[in-house]
Structure 1
Amino acid sequence: MDCIVVQVYPDGLCPPIAQLMLSTLEILLPVFALIFAGFACRRRNLLGPTAASELNRFVVWLALPALLFDTMAHSTWRQLDQPGFVMTFSVACAAVFLGVVVVRLVQGRHLADASVDAIAASYPNTGYIGFPLGMIVFGNASLTPTTIATIIVACVLFAFAIVLIEVGLQAERAPHKLGLKVLRSLAKNPLIVSPIAGALVASAHWTLPHSAETFLKLLSGAASPCALVSLGLFLAEKRPAGNGRRTSLVFTAIKLVAQPAFTWWMAARVFALPADAVDMAVLLAALPTGTGPYMLAEFYRREAHVTSQTILYSTLASLVTLSLLLVVMQRHGI
């Protein structure tokens, strides 16, 4: 591509930074609006103190499993046949995740809490923000890489975090008994079972009935909005001041700066991907933290304050960082 374009500009000029920021804001505005809606409803006591938890349970047990199942059931091996891109994005996410886990464990955090912290620092919002932003910047060419990134993030990284959380929560020390307990817990977890079931459907080339497709679309469509409203409800609860803000800011910097920088190095230097693939990988890695980490923290009853703040701060800061990234890409002739 000669430049980042949303529409045709005179004299072949690319849109100025103000236009790029406006385009990014238009995508992020619904995210802010849904978080604020939950925040306002809680502060005005329109929804009670248990609303965040109950709404999150709806997402974890119904809406998100439907989304994960639907995503995997409609994925094809041909879509995923981009080994360089898959390895780049997977290794970058895994490196950030494992790096944060190790640091938090050294700092004395419980494995379950360290895993929640790690996914908060490495979980890009590819589903809600990645698809529309990718379409603006790269057009239809972004659909397949964004789908791959979404599967890696929402299914693989998410599942890995759940496994570590389950391992951390089990008190059994005998390795074989610990393994059995973890497997039993995972077999009951809808966030693990649903993508596996979807992958089996895709592998068997089964076509779901129209009524089942409609059911999944309706239910999965509620996952992101309800998770964002639940996040707003949680943020509205008054808590004593602590050092969580500093940690959240560090995670935000890791998510918006360190992860895309490492992804660029992997894509351009290690796997030597084509320029367009490098740009798409970096843009997807630079997205703010999605709501998945918050849902995990709430579901497993871990402290969700740092996670929720990371989602909010990274989303706010991404308006600037994504716009600057697009300007850098533009100047380097994408």
Structure 2
Amino acid sequence: MNYDPVPFLKKIISLPGLSGYEDPVRQAIAEDWGPMVDELKVSRLGSLYGIQRGTTEEPRPRILLAAHMDAIGLMATMVQNGFIRFTEIGGIDPRILPGQKVIVHGRHDLPGIIGQPAPRLLPQSIGKKTVPMEYLFIDVGLSAEETSHLVRPGDPISFVQQPLELTENTLAGHTLDNRASVTALSICLAELSSIRHSWDVWAVATVQEEETLAGAFTSPVDISPDIVVAIDVTFAKGPGANDHRTVPFGKGITLGWGPNTHPAIYDAFKKVAERLDIPFQTEVSPANSGTDAMGLQIAEGGLPSIYISIPIRYMHTPVELVSIKDIQRAGHLLAQTVSSFEPGFKQQIRWED
């Protein structure tokens, strides 16, 4: 099946879908996955399941491939003199907020801009420092009465930066964390739809990774998988980001190594990547990985797991930057590794350091 991931990626990074409010993006993902899977389901918390059944006799082993679809953003806390005060959903660096365009999802969607008071109107203690979020506000251009009627505390607020193709291979936009990985799942499903695979594949677009890991904790309980894989993004090298905690941009994906990775699953993915000359490097995380793997791994009494990451620059900003080739590499590696699993592979999984 020929699949061009760019139109889908541009579509889903143009949609809202903040952590806990994923419905708009879930609908778009379901439309994309529908022709490639045997069944679609939605969990009670809102995670989307796309199921491709294997070719061997039942009961078949199951692999769960998870990419969170929720995004960071903001939430209204109060309307003050017609201006909207807000807090964060997920990790937001206040340095990037002034001047951003947003949509306030109130009684109906309202375009707005994030402003800040003039320096002379701020406390002297702030000086030339970053203006804290508590002093920022959103202006929707309406009267105080209209704004108070249309905006309620708790209304989500999303960024509206449009996708920007810098080159044929690089795309900038908001929510590439983690819709780049959702797109890698689409590539995987498209490839698997034209090759035989013994295992049942459950592609899962999880909810609330940025805040609660709710989708990661609950989806394995629904699915009872034998192996779990989290696909997420990681920090690419760039200005001011060049130490051991970052990886080269556009030069390949990463395989996670640390407490959230089972050695046997790491070895399986590593062998396929080496056989197919898929560029990768090992990303070492001595503590929790900061991905859905933290929740997936400890569900169902403990599951063999790994996390695979796509490097991006400027994470958790409205101008994240990704390499399309790395998204394709991630999807290809997922499909080829899954298709390499024989029915009895799960009996071979042993924890050997």
TM-score of the pair, normalised by structure 1: 0.32
Point out the structure with max Rg over C-alpha.
2
Higher helix share: 1
Higher relative contact order (CA 8 A, sep 6+): 1
